[in-house]
Chains A and B, each alone.
Chain A
Amino acid sequence: MAKAKIQKKSTDTDMTPFVDVAFLILSFFIMATKFKPAEPVPIETPNSVSSQTMPDNNAVMMSIDKDNKVYFSIMSKSDVQKGKDIIKEAAKRAGVTITDGDLTHYSDGMMLGMPFNKLKSFLALAPAEQAKVKQDGIPVLDSAHNELVYWIGAAKWAFTGEPLKYLVKGDNVSKYPTFSALVDAMKRNDEQKYNLVTMPTDAPQGTELYLDRLRGK
């Protein structure tokens, strides 16, 4: 009886589709990625069911880190000079002079968390140096020396006649008194509306909001 011949097949697999898929995924990720701007302090925000996106222009952000330090950052992409004006004005109100020359290293969205008496020397540092410095945080807890009031006041002044959003970004473990002091600083500037920055989550199942969203409201 003749033996059935087993044909030897090549062990080589055609990798081309594999490569195709890989690069397709790759291009998707390249396009979808938005690089996070370097943050001097990492802040882990709480979750909420809210779905409003965060504005990144015409806004000021007050951040609270896990050690209850407060930072102020100005987001004014279209007009960086505004940020400089706010710093100058805020310092002026606190009795410190800061000139344009001091602000050469200022960039939009920078997190500033120094008391005014230390702000000038901090701003004078090169960006690489600034990143290394552990900032003290803006003093807020002592209501007589709540320096955040000057910051908000200056921002309000610089954005007169323009929409300005106040954002509050707090860390999960930061304590309530700091947030309360922040609210107080806002109130003293006659500002009652602000937004809390959070990470999105889904509405819990079975709740009214969940049912509403199911209905497509």
Chain B
Amino acid sequence: MASLDTGGDDGHKKGPGVKKAKKLSTRVDMTPMVDLGFLLITFFIFTATMSNPTTMDLNMPKDTDKKDEETKIKQSGSLSIILANDNKIFYYEGEMDPTGANFKSATYKDIRDEIIRKKKEVISHYVQDPACEQEAKAKGKSIDDCKQKDFFVVIKPTDDATYKNVVDILDEMTINKVARYALVKPFPTELDAVKLSGGGAAATPATPPAK
């Protein structure tokens, strides 16, 4: 289409009776080839899976009935995070106040600041623990782990939380390098507190219950 016939000229005749051999252009029209090429490119771009799925580790502690096998945590260094419905988060530090004074709500965005703040607070209270530091050095690890040994995050997803919520908060632990955390069932008192704060399914009957 776009190629002009540039070849083949009839400048001078060889003589009477001698038929001029018409010179054909050697140019090939590439347009359909380009069309096809780009069609295939678009197809492969759409089907390509560039990012392969990755996995994150999750280790669950063994359920135990024996009291002395349970992991002990310091109340002062613990941060409980309750995952409620509609991507709501509630959290409190240490032990929950019966009046609910330290029961606060947050979003997935600002919980990170809260975790960082609490972690810093725990680290600032750190009293040197030579045994722990020596062990860390022997294993070639940094002593950061010792500094936050009292810091413990308890993650309590309610029945209204989604799987994404759980993964997000576990991811937050990786992002902020929280060494100790656990997935625990929420206590009834906590569920009540969530309900009172408008985060429970009972308080909002409009949302259909989980199947």
Contact = CB atoms under 8 A, between A and B. Distances in A.
B174 A48 contact: yes
B164 interface: yes
B31 interface: yes
B27 A12 contact: yes
B52 interface: yes
Interface of B: 2-4, 6, 27, 30-31, 33-34, 37-38, 40-41, 44-45, 47-63, 83, 112, 116, 157-168, 170-171, 174-177, 183, 185, 210-211
Interface residues of A, number: 67
Contacts of B4: 10-12
A26 B40 contact: yes
Contact of A175 (B31, B54, B60, B159): B159
| Interface of A: prevailing SS | mixed
Contacts of A147: none
12 contacts: A19-B34, A33-B44, A33-B47, A35-B47, A50-B171, A53-B55, A64-B163, A168-B58, A169-B53, A198-B53, A198-B171, A200-B54
Contact of A192 (B30, B49, B59): B59
A49 B47 contact: no
Interface of A: 10-13, 15-16, 18-19, 22-23, 25-26, 29-30, 32-36, 45-55, 64, 67-68, 167-180, 183, 186-187, 190, 192-200, 203-204, 207-210, 212
Contact of B55 (A11, A50, A170, A207): A50
A46 B171 CA distance: 10
Nearest to A182: B163
B44 A50 contact: no
B148 to A, nearest CB: 11
A204 B167 CA distance: 15
